[in-house]
Amino acid sequence: MVEHNSALAKLSPFKQLSPEQALLKQRVEAFCQTHIGGQNNQTAIFTIHGDAGTGKSVVLSQLFNDLETAARTDSTSSLYQTHNIFLVNHPEILKVYKEMAGQLPNLRKKDFDRPTSFINRSHKTATSADIIIIDEAHLLLSRPDRYNNFDQQNQLQEIIKLARVVVMVFDAHQVLKTKSYWDDGRLQTIVSHYPHEDYQLHEQFRMHADPSVVDWIDQLTDCKLTPVPATTLDFDFEIFDDAQVMYERIQHQNERVGLSRIVATSGYPSKLDGGKHYVTAGRFKLPWDQYNYQSTSWAEKPETINEVGSIYTTQGFDLNYVGVILGPPFDYDPVTHQMTVHTDRVTDPDVFKRRNDLTDPDEIQRVKTQLTLNVLNVLLKRGVYGLYVYASQPALRQRLRELSSSK
């Protein structure tokens, strides 16, 4: 039995969908049946768009369970005996999907894979798939990456070559690195050559908060500082002056309901050398999240309450409560009264890798700024029941405190 507060429960195929989500799932299933059963051999593509927390992954989870049930058990279906695969380029999310597969009769752990592994294996064995589902398609590599054993130019283009139908979810505001740099224009340049449909999800499902909270986050990730909403319904939203006090609140919530963690943006020592590197802010000092070799996802390991999460361990996950440290890249300009972004303070060595198709200095700076803001957007939208915020830079911290005075 899946625990209600587990990461697995958030993606369960038995989780009740909203009317909009249920209709979307039916529409995508019909799209798959039409293009699998049709005479046109050209790959067809269905793209689901939506911000963080709009329920994209749970739709994919239930869709894939339906597809594999038909493929393995329903001889009357046009999907019967089709070979389908589910891809996600995030190792922590992949662990949850594989765990889910072990508990359902028509899903196998081998049905879930990372894009590079699937692409390289398909090329080696000269095989393909009928339907390919891609979660977090905004994480697909859009340039070669030798570190990840990807030698082609674009993972989406390679996947399209290997499928009859591609269904993916995409959010341009969750693109986090230049090596996986996408925007809506670059995506449309690829999919416009194929039969395709698009759908936009709008309703926020993760955060049980008044819409004013989501709007405040969206304004902040556009560098606009607005008053903190005084009324947030049952959602616990608070600006903190002290990172240690915020961490103690997170510890309390974790003891009370679980799945509560502290996370941070870049701006603190960060090296891929296997050693411990620390996030410090006044009295607060904890190590960054460590690479997780276990099958259990990072957020569900009890000992990670003593670590600081990052995009590498929390993107795509629901946390019950999240405490977010806005690191040194985020500051305040008293002249414009806006938040400023200093990309030169980003310390993650893997974020701003050079690309041959980004050469204009102004465009490069625009992309770096947007990627840095995207990281903040992802982290701020993790909490289901509460969000706590601490800014490391004194000027920004003071301004946020002023804006929360009415609360």
Which domains does the chain carry? 7-201 (3.40.50.300), 211-403 (no CATH)
Single-letter amino acid code for the residue at 75: S
Q: Which helix (H) or strand (E) holds 185?
A: helix 184-191
Q: Which residue type occupies 5?
A: N
Q: What is the pLDDT of residue 61?
A: 93
Measure the CA–CA gap between 174 and 182, rounded to whole angstroms: 9
Amino acid letter, 168: M
**Upper half-sphere CA count for residue 367 (Cβ side, 13 Å):** 22
- What integer pLDDT is reported at residue 273 of this predicted model? 64
- Per-residue DSSP letter, 329: T
Buried b (16+ CB within 10 A) or exposed e, 223-247: bebeebbeebeebebbbbeebebbb
pLDDT for the residue numbered 292: 66
- pLDDT lower than 70: segments of the chain: 1-14, 38-39, 272-274, 292-293, 406-407
Whole-model pTM: value is: 0.88
- Identify the pLDDT of residue 297: 81
For position 374, what pLDDT does the model report? 95
